[in-house]
Amino acid sequence: MNNIKYTIWMLIVLVAGLAACQDEDDNLKDITFNDRSILEFNMDGQIGPAVIETIGEDSGRVLISVPNNVDITNMVPELALSYKATSSPESGEQVNFGNEDSTLVYSVTSASGKVRNWSVKLREVNIEIEGTWKIDEFMLYYLIAPTEPWGWSGTKNVTDYLSGASFEIDNLFTFDFEKGTREGNLRGTFTHSKGVDDQYGNFVKEDQTIPAPPANDWSELFRKLPIDNGVWEHNLTTNTVQFNQAGASVDFEVSFEDDGNTLVLTYVNNDWGVNAIWEGNPKNPLLELSHTERFWYKFSRVEE
């Protein structure tokens, strides 16, 4: 008996729901839909979200950022429009932005027949980090007791402390670009190759006599630039690049010099001073080495 009552109750609820939907549809028939907006505009490889701006009743503009190596003559945008609005060109239709201004006009028509013309412009972004780079310099900055009057700081070559780091000089680092992301980043793969000496740098201090973590091997601090292959992502907002390899990641600050022909990757040591070595006299190089606040690689672009 209870099952029969439950079934009857569910049928009543279903019929009532269908009637409500029908009433809603009937009510919508009396509404005039004048909205003719572009709500979203997306394309493969697009860097970040579209910037969409309505300009009065009859016009609007959309700015799209794309890598400078994409074929803008063969794009297939996907659009989200106002309720019951249509566009020309249509969403999913192949279009050609290969004109002088890299601009096309999309006409969006509301359900009531009103039209707004949207100027859609592509902004091509130079993938400055893309290419092969040779390591020319490997430098560090140490900072000792900055709050004390006797504290000091300085900039030196990492090789002044760790001779094996010299093998890192002349190595090649290649950034291959794959795509932009909707978050506004650039993404691709990297290859870190050995130079003519056929070695990666090592960070063992052979003459270290003072016992301290990590004994005489400083790889935990200085082997941040990954070797072999992996994935990179360049955040254009923070100007940092993250390297991902085998589930581990590391961030470097990015800067360019010499009209983009010099790349500088800087690692900031957030554990500065944690493993500081204070034994020995103040001129002990381990004192400076263990107070490394940041270090950086300077690369020159390899012309292909």
108 pLDDT more than 80 = yes
**Is 99 inside a domain boundary?**
yes
| Length of the chain counted residue by residue | 304
Give the end of a domain, one of 90, 125, 160.
125
Q: What is the CATH number of the domain that holds 90?
A: 2.60.40.2340
User: Comparing C-alpha atoms, which of 92, 93, 88, 134 is closest to residue 108?
Assistant: 88
Residue pair 65/81 in contact (Cβ under 8 Å)? The answer is no
Burial class (CB within 10 angstroms; exposed 0-12, middle 13-18, buried 19+) of 137:
middle
Neighbours of 123 (CB within 10 A): 12
pLDDT band at 137 (very low <50, low <70, confident <90, very high): very high
> Does the residue 27 lie in any domain?
no
Residue at which a domain ends, from 100, 125, 150: 125
Judged by average pLDDT, the poorest of 45-54, 262-271, 277-286 is: 277-286
**Confidence band (pLDDT; 50, 70, 90) for 303?**
confident
What does pLDDT average to over the chain? 87
Confidence of residue 30 (pLDDT cuts 50, 70, 90): very low
Residues 138 and 121 both lie in one domain: no
- The domain in which residue 61 lies consists of 38-125
Whether 114 and 148 share a structural domain: no
Q: Which residues contact 279 (CB under 8 A, 6 or more apart)?
A: 210, 212, 286
**pTM score, whole prediction:** 0.79
Q: Is 250 within a domain? A: yes
CA 220 – CA 206 distance, rounded (Å): 16
For the record, the structure tokens of 279 come out as: 């034994």
**Taking 50 as the threshold, does the pLDDT of residue 199 lie above it?**
yes
Question: Which tokens hold the place of 94?
Answer: 């192949």
18-27, 48-57, 264-273: range with lowest mean pLDDT = 18-27
